[in-house]
Amino acid sequence: MAEKAHEIRLKSRPVGMPKAENFELAEVTLPEPKDGEVLVRNMWMSVDPYMRGRMYDRPSYVPPFQIGEALQGGAVGRIEKSNDARFKPGDLVESFLGWRDAFVSSAAPLTKLPASNVPPQAFLGVLGMPGMTAYTSFHRIGDPKPGNVVFVSGAAGAVGATVCQIAKIRECSVVASAGSDAKLAWLKSVGVEAGVNYKTCGDLLKAVQAAAPKGIDIYFDNVGGEHLEVALEVARPFARFIECGMISIYNDEKPTPGPRNMAYIVGKRIKMQGFIVSDFIDMREQFLTEMTQWVLDGRVKSEETIENGIANAPKAFLNLFTGGNTGKMLVKLD
Amino acid sequence: MAEKAHEIRLKSRPVGMPKAENFELAEVTLPEPKDGEVLVRNMWMSVDPYMRGRMYDRPSYVPPFQIGEALQGGAVGRIEKSNDARFKPGDLVESFLGWRDAFVSSAAPLTKLPASNVPPQAFLGVLGMPGMTAYTSFHRIGDPKPGNVVFVSGAAGAVGATVCQIAKIRECSVVASAGSDAKLAWLKSVGVEAGVNYKTCGDLLKAVQAAAPKGIDIYFDNVGGEHLEVALEVARPFARFIECGMISIYNDEKPTPGPRNMAYIVGKRIKMQGFIVSDFIDMREQFLTEMTQWVLDGRVKSEETIENGIANAPKAFLNLFTGGNTGKMLVKLD
């Protein structure tokens, strides 16, 4: 009997801040899996800021989402039917095939989750793309040394919170910026020394100067904008700026002017480098080995913000831009 | 008999664009050189854009110039009297002891010029600080590969013109931006493929896109400002931005907003890195060896713009900011 499934499609391209009306929930009928195919029922879907970029119709490192098609995002699910020798029913798999509660696909693009004691949704967070983003870039671009001062913006997000904890493991001290006192309290509970609530602190520069009186050696940038200008201001000579994202400007309808103090890049000999997690694919094994151990040892903790049901995936996405999540934003399916 | 000498002093700190009245010429009486001291008569003085930064009273990688004191800058001169075993009259020396036509100093901070067939003022240009600035950063930060497209702003300056020619030696193609057709003609005579006259081209972005239709792999930034924004726009993935200077904003009285397209640093995985030539002091021998050979072989040519007499040093400096020089700006003393 043909099964029904649901997916979230891009209905129209957002202009500025995305709205619920840019998305639509659609019901589809799943075909029977053919030879080499499997039917997967998703358990968890990942909700990530970078998806905003794919909603623009412009050339980028990944093709734009298409109107009327399911949004692509990471998901973890369970094999329900298999016509492929690699998988059997009950296997947990990670996919990148769309915001769908169930789907039929070739087995080729699916990855079986390793047997482990961590919950499966961790492979969308601290052991998944956000965790690998944090781990690889912090080491490769940040080049952390014991005693370095690390400033992290968007510090309570999935990537930021992981960066903060890796920095502590590497014997750095951490100044975290986040948008609520509750988020900062959680970050302090995992070892962050100083927190700045950018929504209530008033003058951001003064607040960061007070939190990092000796300046910063590493800036992990998730937000761009004013935070980036402040980081340039407080940077020590030879500071490394890990340019992971600029969520503060993703929804801008007009281009926003950049930092007014770019000349510090010269005078302070700053290295500012952008990246995409796949650039560091050579570090994947090292990341999985070390991070799995840290998670099992309790040295890296993760928070999750969970919305229930595929219909709420757009809401979860919109909440990313208003600071609605602490840690990894997930949609739980059932 | 006590000898007279002349020096250029900072009379007042410039606000915005420096003016002649910010400088003064003073006559001083030279003491007799004591034990371990020498009397040097300068032949050439170097005039460099970075000196503008030292006219601000602010913390930086070098201390600010002081009001009423001689400006510091590179010079090449001849030993006239020596009470130090290392030097004898007639020796050519490089110093960094101020804009003076003659001076008495300890011999310690002086460097004897190597015996060579290149004219002595080359040690203030292509074989001196500007040449080493170009050589070290282009290799260390730029990481050039054959076939790379290199965009150079301020391309007719002492550093820029050297970068253009090193890039050609490294089998890159070069797009040069300069402020006059005569400068661009000179750059084309040394192998630069495409030139943009930023003063007459109209839309700078369109002009650079036309000159580099496939985009750029390396941007050598001498000017900052609009050129930097254009470079971000045309950068290919993994482009390297060598942040040598931002002359376009050195004289700004108010902070100028930065590029409006900073988000490309993330999406295009751009590395943007500032430096100071002394950061790469480990490359000095390699630089001198290779560059001397290139100069003698005629593979690296240099232009000079010369003002005569110490009284004209301020004028030479002011001309740097209005594009008055092609190649190295020098003051010839006699």
> So what's the ipTM on this one?
0.87
Residue A242 resides in a domain: yes
Nearest CA in chain A to B242: A266
Give the model's confidence band at B40: pLDDT under 50 very low, under 70 low, under 90 confident, else very high: very high
d(CA A44, CA B154): 53
Strand residue runs (E) in chain A: 3-10, 23-30, 37-46, 75-82, 92-95, 102-106, 111-112, 149-152, 173-178, 194-197, 216-221, 235-243, 271-274, 304-308, 328-332
Backbone angles phi, psi at B118, to 5 degrees: -90, 150
Task: List the CATH number of the domain containing A147.
Answer: 3.40.50.720
User: Which three-class secondary structure state does DSSP give residue B55?
Assistant: helix
- Confirm or reject contact between A265 and chain B (CB < 8 A): yes
Task: List the CATH number of the domain containing A69.
Answer: 3.90.180.10
Residues A158 and A271 reside in one and the same domain = yes
Residue A180 resides in a domain: yes
Residues B210-237 have a mean pLDDT of 97
CB B159 within 8 A of CB B136: no
Which of B228, B238, B265 would you mutate first to test chain A, the one with the most A CBs within 10 A? B265
Q: Is B60 or A294 the better-scoring residue by pLDDT?
A: A294
> How many residues are present in chain B?
334
Residues of A in contact with B268 (CB under 8 A): 61, 274
Residue B250 resides in a domain: yes
- Confirm or reject contact between A273 and chain B (CB < 8 A): yes
For helices B204-211 and B225-234, angle between their N-to-C axes, nearest 10 degrees:
40
CB A270 within 8 A of CB A241: yes
Residue A287 resides in a domain: no
Residue B24 resides in a domain: yes
- Number of separate domains in chain A: 2
Residues A105 and A134 reside in one and the same domain = no
> A30 has which bridge partners?
A3
Write down the pLDDT at residue B117. Answer: 85
| Contact between A53 and B267 using a beta-carbon 8 Å cutoff | yes
Residues A121-144 have a mean pLDDT of 96
Write down the pLDDT at residue A77. Answer: 96
Mean pLDDT of all residues belonging to chain B: 93
- Confirm or reject contact between B269 and chain A (CB < 8 A): yes
Write down the pLDDT at residue A213. Answer: 97
Write down the pLDDT at residue B296. Answer: 93
Å from A47 to nearest chain B CA? Answer: 19
- Confirm or reject contact between A62 and chain B (CB < 8 A): no
Write down the pLDDT at residue B203. Answer: 97
Residues A290-315 have a mean pLDDT of 94
Write down the pLDDT at residue A323. Answer: 81
Residues B217 and B204 reside in one and the same domain = yes
| Contact between A244 and B266 using a beta-carbon 8 Å cutoff | yes
Lowest mean pLDDT among A24-38, B117-131, B167-181, B247-261: B247-261
Q: What percent of chain A has pLDDT over 90?
A: 83
Assess whether pLDDT exceeds 80 at residue B248: no
Give the model's confidence band at B311: pLDDT under 50 very low, under 70 low, under 90 confident, else very high: very high
| Contact between B274 and A270 using a beta-carbon 8 Å cutoff | yes
| Contact between A263 and B270 using a beta-carbon 8 Å cutoff | no
User: Which three-class secondary structure state does DSSP give residue B103?
Assistant: strand
For residue range B7-17, list pLDDT tens digits in order.
Answer: 999 999 999 89
Residues B112 and B136 reside in one and the same domain = no
Q: Is B316 or B98 the better-scoring residue by pLDDT?
A: B316
The angle formed by the CA atoms of residues A50, A56 and A58, to the nearest 5 degrees, is 110
CB A331 within 8 A of CB A310: yes
Write down the pLDDT at residue B249. Answer: 74
Report the 10 Å Cβ neighbour count for A306. Answer: 16
Chain A, chain B: beta-carbon pairs less than 8 Å apart: 106
Residue A292 resides in a domain: no
| Contact between A260 and B256 using a beta-carbon 8 Å cutoff | yes
Write down the pLDDT at residue B144. Answer: 98
Assess whether pLDDT exceeds 70 at residue B273: yes
For residue range A224-248, list pLDDT tens digits in order.
Answer: 999 999 999 999 999 999 999 988 7
A193: containing domain: 129-278
CB A307 within 8 A of CB A315: yes
What is the per-residue DSSP string for A142-172? T---TT-EEEESSTTBHHHHHHHHHHHHTT-
Residue B287 resides in a domain: no
Write down the pLDDT at residue B1. Answer: 59
CB B331 within 8 A of CB B310: yes
Which of A159, A265, A281 would you mutate first to test chain B, the one with the most B CBs within 10 A? A265
Write down the pLDDT at residue A249. Answer: 74
Residues A270 and A183 reside in one and the same domain = yes
Assess whether pLDDT exceeds 70 at residue A288: yes
Residues A205 and A317 reside in one and the same domain = no
Residues B276-288 have a mean pLDDT of 95
Å from B281 to nearest chain A CA? Answer: 15
Give the model's confidence band at B115: pLDDT under 50 very low, under 70 low, under 90 confident, else very high: confident
Q: Are strands B216-221 and B304-308 parallel, antiparallel or unpaired?
A: unpaired
Nearest CA in chain A to B265: A274
Residues A90 and A162 reside in one and the same domain = no
Residues B184 and B266 reside in one and the same domain = yes
Write down the pLDDT at residue A1. Answer: 59
Nearest to B269 among A245, A259, A275 (CB): A275
For residue range A79-131, list pLDDT tens digits in order.
Answer: 999 999 999 999 999 999 889 999 999 999 999 998 888 899 999 999 999 99
d(CA B203, CA B209): 10
Question: Who's near B74: CB < 8 A, 6+ residues apart?
Answer: B45, B46, B48, B94, B95, B96, B124, B128, B129
Residues B301-306 have a mean pLDDT of 92
Assess whether pLDDT exceeds 70 at residue A6: yes
Å from B257 to nearest chain A CA? Answer: 4
Question: Who's near A169: CB < 8 A, 6+ residues apart?
Answer: A294, A299, A300
Global pTM reads: 0.89
Residues B70 and B102 reside in one and the same domain = yes
d(CA B153, CA B135): 16
Residues A116 and A13 reside in one and the same domain = yes
Report the 10 Å Cβ neighbour count for A234. Answer: 21
Q: Is B250 or B80 the better-scoring residue by pLDDT?
A: B80
Nearest to A258 among B245, B262, B270 (CB): B262
Residues B102 and B240 reside in one and the same domain = no
Q: What's the first-to-final CA gap in chain B, in angstroms?
A: 20
CB A123 within 8 A of CB A304: no
Residue A143 resides in a domain: yes
- Confirm or reject contact between A243 and chain B (CB < 8 A): yes
| Contact between B246 and A258 using a beta-carbon 8 Å cutoff | no
Instruction: Establish how many alpha carbons lie within 13 A of residue A69's alpha carbon, considering only the half-sphere containing its beta carbon.
Output: 12
CB A287 within 8 A of CB A132: yes
For residue range B166-204, list pLDDT tens digits in order.
Answer: 999 999 999 999 999 999 999 999 999 999 999 999 999
Residues B146 and B250 reside in one and the same domain = yes
Mean pLDDT of all residues belonging to chain A: 93
